[in-house]
Every structure is written in C-alpha cells, then in structure tokens.
Chain A
Amino acid sequence: MNLDIRVPIGMLFLSLGGLLAGFGAVTHFTNPALYARSLGVNVNLWWGLVMIAFGAAMYYYGRRAVAAQADPSESTSTSTSLEA
C-alpha cells in the first residue's frame, strides 16, 4: 500500500502545531493573562513547537519511505510490463 501513515500524521501535527505556536506567539503579547491557569507557562507556544518538530520528523521519514518504495518499484513495473 503506498499510503504511509507517517505522512498524514506529520501533516496533522505540522498544521495543529503551527496553529498552536502561532496562536501562542500572538497571545504572548496580546493576552498574557490567558496563561495564568497554565502556571504562567505559554504552553500553546512551547507545545506547538514540540508538535511541529514531531510532525516534521514524521513527514520526512514517511516521505522518504514512500520515495524508497517508489524507486525500485518503477524499474520492476517496467520489467513486468515488458514481460506482459
């Protein structure tokens, strides 16, 4: 199957992480009171960045695996078509 689950996981974490980190960066200046409940830590920003890092790694390895699968299969598919 050529859908590697790491690719959609990477994409989901990149978009959610980006959203959280962006929101955290903006609210850091506009609404710091928001973070009173999270013990003064801007968890949106920090956790958003962690999610971006995880998402990027997942996406990279998923894409690499798909590419590695596609390369040799290209040559085999031409050979099978020749046989046919």
Chain B
Amino acid sequence: MHTSLAWIDYLIMVIYFAFVLGIGFALKRFMKTSTDFFLSGRSIPAWVAGLAFISANLGAQEVIGMAASGAKYGISTAHFYWLGAIPAMAFVGLFMMPFYYGSRARSVPEYLRLRFDEKTRGLNAISFAAMTVFSSGASMYVMAKLIVTLGIFDPVVEAMGMPPSYVFHLSILVSALITLGYVYLGGLTSAIYNEVLQFFLIVAGFFPLVWLGMRNVGGWEGLIAKCPPGFGHAWKGMTNPETNPLGVEVIGLAMGLGFVLSFGYWCTDFLVVQRAMAADSMTSARRTPLIAAVPKMIFPFLVILPGLIAVALPTPTAADAPEAGSQVVSEAETMGRGLIPAKVKADGSVELDSAGKPVLDYDLAIPRLLIHYFPTGLLGLGLTALLASFMSGMAGNITAFNTVWTFDIYQAYLQKPIQKVIPFQATDKHYLWMGHFATLAGTVVSVAAAYVAAQFNNIMELLQLVFAFVNAPLLATFLLGMFWKRATANGAFYGLLSGILAATAHHALTLPMGSASGVKGAWIANLHEYRSEMAQNFWTAIWAFGVCFVVSIVVSFLTRPRPDDELRGLVYSLTKHDVEHGLPWYRKPETLGVVVVLMSIALNIIFR
C-alpha cells in the first residue's frame, strides 16, 4: 500500500519539523536554572498545561490503538474515555492536585518519599524510569514500522542512494534527533509547547478525515447500518461477557477499567501529572486535568470513529484494481474487512488464525483511511499529524524520564557515592547539566529499545507485562497516602509489594479464551478462562489493587504512624482546603469538575 507523495506533502512535513525545532531554539535562552528545565519554572498557564496533559498521552499507542480498537469492538472503545479517563481526570484535578502541587514535590516519586519513605520512592522511581524509556522506544518502533509500510521515506532514501532497508533506520534516527533536539534545548517548556502545537495539528489532520468518512457512509445511521452488530452501542449487553464485543461484564469494566486502571494512570503516572505540576498556580494546576477533560471527551470522535468507518467501507475486490490511481489490489486487501487488510507474513502470504480465517491488521485503520480519502496536500497534513502524535508521546516520556532520573535516582542514590570518589559541588548548574545528560542518555536508550523491539517482539510484550504488574497496585498506595493519615511507610511498601505479587499470580493462573499458556497467562496453572484479554487485564488490576489496599491497611495498623505535624500538606485531613476562596463560584475548579462529569454521563447515555 505504498503511497505516492508529492513535493507539497514533504514540504508540509518539513515546515512542521522546522517549527518544532524552532520552538526549542526560541526557548533555549529561558533555560537558566534546573527549575526552568524540569518544571518550566512553574509558569505554564492552565489551558496550555491542560492541552499538554492530554497531548502527552496522545502517543502512537493511543491514536493507532484506539482506531484499531474501534475497528475491532466498535463504539464500546469509548469506555476508555467516557468511563475511564474523564472521571479519573476530574478526581486528580479536584482531590489529588492539592498534594502534588502543594507539597512542592518535583515528581510523583518524590511525593512518595515526602509522604512515606525512601524505599517506596525508590521502587516507584526505578520502575517508572525504566518504563518511560521502554515505552518511548516501543513508540519509536511502531512509528518506524508504519513509515516503512506507508513508504513515506522511500523516495528520500532512494535519492540519497541508500538501500531500501535503510528506511527503518532513517525513520528512527530522524524522529529521535528531532525529539531530542527540542527537549534538550527547551526542557519541559519546549515539550509542553510542542504538545500544544501537536494537539492542534492532530485535530487539523483528523477532523477532515472523519468528516469525509461520515459523509461517505451516510452519517451515524449509515455507519452503524454498515458495521457489525453491536458496534453502535457502548453499554448494550454489558451484563454478560458473552453478549458484548469486549468480552467483559459490567463489574470488571467499571471496577477494572473505570476505577483501578484509569485512576491509576491519570492520577499517579508522572508523565501526565508533570504537566499539571508545571502550572503557574495551585488553581491552574487543579484546572489542568479538568480543562484537558473537555477535548478528551470529544477525542473518541476523532480517533475511534475512523476505525468504525474503515470497517464500514466496502472491502476492495480484484475488480477494483484498475481505478483508484492504478494501485494494484493485493490479496491481503481482498481478504480483509472493509479497508482493513489481513496481516501478511514475511514470505508474502496471508496470516491465518487457528480457524483458518485471516488475521486482520487493525493498526492500519487510520493510515489506510488517510490514503483512501486525502488528496495530495491534505495527505501531507494527515501524515504530519500522525508523526506529531508519535513525537508528543515520545517527548512526554523523555521529559518524565529526565526529571525522575535526576531527582529520584541520581540525586537520591548516586550523587553521594560519586562525590566520595570525585569531590564536586552539587550546584543548581550541576542538576541542569544532569538534566541535559539524562535527556540525551534517555533518547539513546530509547533508540536501543526500539531495535530490541524490532528484533524480539516477545521481549517487549514481556516487559510491558512486568510494568503492568508493577503499576497495577499503585493507585491503592496513593489513595491511602493522601486520604488516610494512619497509613505508614512500611504499610505502603509491603502493600505495594504484595499488590505486585497478586497481579503476577493472577496472570499466572488465568488465561484469555483461545490463547496458549505462556506470555498471555496461565504459566503456572489454568484456573480460570476469561472471555477476552481485556477482561483478564481488568481483573488483574482489580486483584492487585485489592490486595495492596488490604495489606497496606493491615501493616499500617501494626506499625507506628508518623506524627500529624510531619504530614501537613501531604494528607487530606491535615491540609487547609479552601484555596480558591477569592474566586467566584463559576470560576472554581469544582464547578468545572462537575460540568465535565455531567457531560461525560450525558455521552454515556447518548451512546448507551
């Protein structure tokens, strides 16, 4: 499915790259202290931080993955937004931001040290740092693979006289250098500013796509009529895992996705929380996730609908070959569903599952649709939007990594031993230098991770699994830490460990239907089969959360609590609340929070 791009398409990409790097250069002169570099000098207005908050999450996995999921499951995919993200974003803004921002912690792990102790922070910091570089590597790999499939850089590589296999290397190199360039120059501010730019570009690139697609299939009614049954409803058949496309029942969905996974991500992941911590005031920090929630609510229409449209369109047949710009229709395309082609094996034949049906390559939903509808010109914009989404996700990981590395790993554990050997003064300049170094090193490790992903796909899958286990119980630790002053350091640490163990055990003992035991689960024994992988994930999270919650409480009661005086500003009951007493009611974050949640409920009802 190689596309032929014209000069104008490349020009659009080049202009975008120039702006992205230009912002980095323009911000360079403001990067004087470590606070400027890591925290944007706590000077970002709420709307900018808010758009960066969702844009940092809008990486490759999000854009490509949500469309793929839309093509696979239909509008139920919107649960990730309307049931998952929105309530969690309202919660972090209203109830948790006062402690993140108010405690003056520079990172999420640092909050854990202030509230609990060093070992809880160490566990969180090290696993988080490893996770960020690996996910930015995985993101880079997905992008490079897509560029290879679409043939975007083929003419460039050809013009430079390099063999076609270099397209992959060139894609990795270019994306790494540009992201490194603008983060290195302008730190977190540059990442945030570019995320806002990328946000608008993604909307500009995808809106006409959805508009053309919807016009083509005959609006919502026409779309649903052409989609498989059940694709138009988010809640229908949710009482039983066998009667809905997700294979989940309502308790697993609400508890697993709606509560543990979504709150766990949006409330504790430093990648997004960092954006709010950079806000210019407490009120702005609290508004950040709430402002972000508004576009987030509308995003399903931009990223999930393309998946449905791709399935609703007629599958190309061999007879279509002569028209549509003389592109030959391949076997993989005719065996696909709608615009989604079947997966092709290395030898060129179509991949079949155990039932003999072709395995569909859902990840190609958005790219295929872009090529289907966009003429030269707009196609350049659409592909640039896709690249922008990859880069914003990558930069988000890199900025989160350099901060956690500098403050929670280097300053906490490495600096003193090094100073014993080579005495030096740890000035602010030193940390600024370390931030630059960590940005560079993080990018290099990401590139290495991208190549590891290309070589051994299973290793990446395994690593993602490990990170999922480590993250699953975190929400319980934060909730107890922020809202229960009796929670102790040992309670938190051993709760966290048992939660991780519980997640691992649950995965080792259950299996999604139709999978072989191994990396998918049941590597000790198969005690229970879930209807889908999603159901298994949700219940792994529920178990991890539950065990961490209970163990933390039990151990806390057995250990000595910290005196109240030490916990002021860190725990709900010991912190002064009424921060915004000067604001009229309609400008208070609480009002916005209620509005956002009501809008989300309305969307759930409309698409029930």
Residues of A participating in the B interface, judged by any CB pair closer than 8 Å:
1, 3, 5, 8-9, 11-13, 15-16, 19-20, 23-24, 27, 34-35, 37-39, 41, 43-44, 47, 51, 54
Contacts and interface: CB of A to CB of B under 8 A. Distances in A.
A16 B15 contact: yes
A3 B11 contact: no
The DSSP consensus for interface residues of chain B is helix
Given A8-B23, A9-B196, A16-B15, A23 B216 contact: no
Contacts of A54: 200, 204
Contacts of B27: 1, 3
A15 B15 contact: yes
Interface in B181-228: 189, 193, 196-197, 200-201, 204, 208, 212, 215-216
A51 to B, nearest CB: 6
Contacts of A16: 12, 15-16, 204, 381
* Residue of B12, B19, B27, B381 with most partner-chain A CB within 10 A: B381
Interface of B: 8, 11-12, 15-16, 19, 22-23, 26-27, 30, 41, 43, 48, 189, 193, 196-197, 200-201, 204, 208, 212, 215-216, 324, 372-378, 381
Contacts of B377: 19-20, 23-24, 27, 44
A1 B374 contact: no
Contacts of A9: 196-197, 200
B323 to A, nearest CB: 9
The DSSP consensus for interface residues of chain A is helix
Contacts of A20: 12, 377-378, 381
A44 B12 CA distance: 13
B43 A1 contact: yes
B15 A34 contact: no
A1 B204 contact: no
Contacts of B12: 16, 19-20
Contacts of B373: 37-39
A15 B193 CA distance: 18
A39 B62 CA distance: 28
Contacts of A15: 15
A68 to B, nearest CB: 14
B195 to A, nearest CB: 10
A43 B206 CA distance: 13
Contacts of B16: 12, 16
Nearest to A41: B212
- Top 4 closest A-B pairs, CB basis? A44-B377, A34-B375, A12-B19, A5-B193
A35 B372 CA distance: 11
Given A1-B43, A39-B215, A44-B377, A23 B200 contact: no
